[in-house]
Each structure stands twice: as structure tokens, then as C-alpha cells.
Amino acid sequence: MKTKTNDVILQTVTNVVAFMILLFSLRIFFVGHYTPGGGFIGGLMTSGAIVLLLLAYDIKTVANILPVDYKILTAIGLLFAVGTSAGALVFDVPFLTHAYGEFNLPLLGETGLHTAVLFDTGVYLVVIGVTMTIIQTIGVSE
């Protein structure tokens, strides 16, 4: 192990910036249907935020903050994607037929909901899971 260095500036900046990146990635993910963005780039940016945390702290700390097994996250993402696609079969329409509707929600008011977002959530989760699995595995491997 190297001697412990004092990287308080990095850590402090990270504490602030990581949330901003996280928020930006969520935004990019949610607006994907209307403006550039979507599950793929959103997922990449979210994992970028986590990588920043990894740079500032060590793997154990990050694992404490985010106690997530990324392999399971990948699986959940795939489940989302396949589940959304297969759900169409229940309504007697072809595989991967999306549905759209306007709903009056209690807090948000009149909102358009689209099952494509659920599919995109799958993509989002898979991308986070994959990126983090790769980076963590290589990082720990030494």
C-alpha cells in the first residue's frame, strides 16, 4: 500500500459533483424519448458518477455507500426489458408492442406514460451493471 495521502479537496468536490452527474444522468435518461439521451447514455453517466466515487474513495467505502451487486443489477435490467416486451403478449398483441396513455396522477397531474420507459429502464440498469461489473472486477483483480 502506498502512503496515505490527504485528498480532501478531491473528496469534497466529488461529494458535490457526483450528485450533479447523477442528477444529469437521470435527466438524460428521462428525456430520452423526446430529446437526445436515453437509457444507454444515462446508464453510462450514472456509472461515471460511481466511478468518480471510486476514484475519490476506495472500493470498500463505495461498496458501503452503494451496497449493490452489479451482476444482479444486470439481471434485473434484463428482466425489465424482457418483462416489458413479454408483457405485451398478455394483451394479445405481438411481442414488444408498447402502450401509451394519458393518466391523471395524484401529484403530477396529467401525465403521459409510455411502457417504452420501462424498457429503457432495463437498458439503463443493464448498462450500469455491466460497466460497474467490468470496472470493479478489473480494479480488484491485482
Partner 1 sequence: MTLLHWAIISPFLFAILIPFLYKAMRQVHTGWFVLLLPVALFSYFIQFMPVTSDGKAIKETAEWMPSFDINFTAYVDGLGLLFALLITGIGSLVVLYSIYYLDKKREQLHNFYVYLMMFMGAMLGVVLSDNLIVLYMFWEFTSISSFLLIGYWYHRERSRYGALKSMLITVFGGLSMLGGFILLYLMGGTFSIRELISQSDLLMNEALFIPAMLLVLLGAFTKSAQFPFHIWLPDAMEAPTPVSAYLHSATMVKAGIYLVARMSPIFAETSLWLWLVGGFGIFTLFWGSFNAVKQTDLKAILAFSTVSQLGLIMSLLGVGAAALHYTHLDDNIYMVATLAAVFHLINHATFKGSLFMVAGIVDHETGTRDIRKLGGLMSFMPITFTIAIIGAFSMAGLPPFNGFLSKEMFFTGMVRVLEMDIFSLDTAGIIFPVLAWVGSVFTFIYSMILVFKTFTGEHQPEKLEKKPHEAPLGMLISPIILASLVVVFGFFPNILSERIIAPAVAAITPSLVEEGHEIKAHISFWHGPTPELFMTFGVILFGILLYHLLPKWKKVYSWRPERLSLNSIYDGVLVRGERAASSFTKGYMTGFIRSYLVYIFAFFIGIALFGLWYKGAFAVNTVELAPIGIYEVAIALLLVISSLTTLFAKSRLTSIISLGAAGYTVSLFFVLFRAPDLALTQLVIETVSVALFLLCFYHLPKMSRHETRVKFKIENAVIAVGVGIVVTLFAISSYSTKLFKSISSYYIENVYEVAHGKNMVNVILVDFRGFDTLFEICVLAIASLGIYSMIKLRLTRRKEG
Binding site residues, partner 1, CB under 8 A: 28, 31-41, 44-45, 48, 71, 74-75, 77-78, 81-82, 85, 95-96, 98, 100, 112, 114, 116, 119-120, 122-123, 126-127, 129-131, 133-134, 137-138, 141
Nearer to partner 1, 51 or 62 (CB): 51
**Cβ of residue 87: shortest distance to partner 1, in angstroms?**
13
Distance from C-alpha of 28 to C-alpha of 46, rounded to nearest angstrom = 10
State the residue for C-alpha cell 430529446: 35
d(CA 14, CA 68): 20
DSSP string, 97-121: ---EEEEEETTTEEEEEEHHHHHHH
When the beta carbons of 57 and 124 are compared against partner 1, the nearer one is 124
Between 68 and 96, whose beta carbon lies closer to partner 1? Answer: 96
Residue 112: beta bridge partners? 102
